[in-house]
Chain A
């Protein structure tokens, strides 16, 4: 996994609340056995008509938001299913950071394991960030803050262990595999 230390990109705003995983990637795309190439399926029902043509009014289709890597989304982003295809699709579509006032538990866990940073900020800070739509902002995971174009910063928290993994670009399985002895001992205690 690529380390996530500091990321600078254009911020796009999807103000809708409760953007569920069926919107992020509809179930019909889950028949894949791969994790690559899901960018085309990302927000598919919002981006494309039945003929597969782009809806010009989808925010990320606006010329000034093309290539945006930071998404400021309405409250309760990622609710619904446990499909990890949601962060896979976002990542393949170019999104590395999602900022919301609430992020669903399973989506948050899945995103952190794939180098997509799920950030929760309060409503006032979210509004400030959204106010800079189409401008470049910086998300600094080392410093735990967002740098806005006006020179101000907004702090955020990320679970300590997930943060270390992201900063170093290592996955969490490596750590778990090092715990074999403790797991063996635990299984023995329970069998006794």
Chain B
């Protein structure tokens, strides 16, 4: 009789080219390698200097997202890069992909997008896979029951050259969310709540399996939002076991198996669930009923609070430093704080359901005159779909900017930044000091909350807002 195993153990065991020993880590085979322009140039240089090739170009999915402009092309067709450096980085990626035989889902492909939005929508992300990318939000793909984690550039080189990584087996953490989420609580509110419970380093050294009734009830896009922020609790990966929701999402997608092959794949995918009685190194239980619209008040994603609650009083130096940076006082209400910028987008919340939620709030409303709002679709496909539904018109009519796909203001690499001192309500994933621009102050929130704040011009509770209500 074999011992009960977690989904994490099953995926791990199925990918060990060589098991680990005291002297050496496991050699873990990687099914899918996602690459983008920021964390690869030095890896391609390494291959070149050693005379190496890319072992499995067909397992390498490339795109351009971090450094790309989100403004439309110039009249002459050129792209409005904010600097020579960003333009050069994109050009370098285009050259590297051509030289090493990797298909680049770049400009003009109609498939470009934020790497963690694009992979799933193409159906490249599948249950039971190992997936890596030089990006810490790779855990997003865990939504499909894949073991997906971020790596550095040296490891990008390892995977390009050998399709393998040297890895020690991670510890396992079960986060079980029992009960049913309230209608006003989104997947973003849930993950912010979970990070608040775990703390920003509570998952370090672990891979999380999210389980329980409330997780099963989430859509695939909700599960992606959830898994995306696992790293904000320190966990390199987080995943949800595949089920009918997963299979229904994948059916018919271009890179997923087709026809009878799909049905065969589903039978295999169904085995990637934790066995009854499988032991986790740690378990945390969350009651879904405790989750309400949640935002951050500080400078790390574990510093969260229910939106209608006051800023917590500083209990330590960390909190004091965060409050001082944010310009908030312990005990003061967050509701009513002046908002300068609203950002909707990123690998956390740049999918079609996020844009629909935002459009539902903005429809027939106008954002506050002093607020600058950027809505940045996560991919070409998301943008096309949104425009087919007329969401861009609602967004523009409300006074927000409708942009081209990319990572944009999540980290401000492409020049889309928040100015020093400005407060930005952002649907992205990090509220670190200076993340969105030097001196920028970030409040993380769900798309619905972000849109409501844009209309109000201050931090506002989405529960006080009725869809369709005039401003």
Contacts and interface: CB of A to CB of B under 8 A. Distances in A.
A46 to B, nearest CB: 9
A82 B151 contact: yes
A127 interface: no
Count class of interface residues, chain B: 35 or more
Give the one of A18, A23, A83 with max B CB within 10 A: A18
Closest A-B pairs by Cβ, 7 of them = A110-B152, A31-B85, A84-B152, A33-B41, A82-B150, A84-B153, A27-B411
B88 interface: yes
Interface stretch (A54-62, A135-143, A144-152, A167-175): A167-175
Interface stretch (A4-12, A63-71, A89-97, A98-106): A98-106
A79 to B, nearest CB: 6
Q: How large is the interface on A (under 10, 10 to 19, 20 to 34, 35 or more residues)?
A: 35 or more
A83 B413 CA distance: 13
Contacts of A80: 136, 231, 430, 432
A40 interface: no
B29 A105 contact: no
A18 B430 contact: no
Given A31-B89, A33-B92, A45-B434, 7 more contacts: A80-B136, A82-B152, A84-B153, A105-B234, A182-B18, A183-B162, A187-B29
Given A82-B152, A109-B152, A183 B430 contact: no
5 contacts: A27-B413, A79-B201, A106-B151, A109-B155, A173-B46
A135 to B, nearest CB: 24
Interface stretch (B19-27, B258-266, B456-464): B19-27
Interface of B: 17-18, 22-25, 27, 29, 38-39, 41-42, 45-46, 50, 52, 55, 66-67, 83, 85-86, 88-89, 92, 134-136, 138, 149-155, 157-158, 161-164, 166, 168, 200-201, 204-205, 231, 234, 236, 300, 317-318, 321, 411-413, 420, 430, 432-435, 438
A109 B151 CA distance: 8
A51 interface: no
A113 B438 CA distance: 29
A102 B202 CA distance: 11
B42 A23 contact: no
Contacts of B23: 160-161, 164
Contacts of B434: 22-23, 26, 45
B18 A76 contact: no
A32 interface: yes
B27 A105 contact: no
A161 B25 contact: yes
A17 interface: yes
A82 B17 contact: no
Contact of A173 (B149, B151, B157): B157
Contacts of A34: 41-42
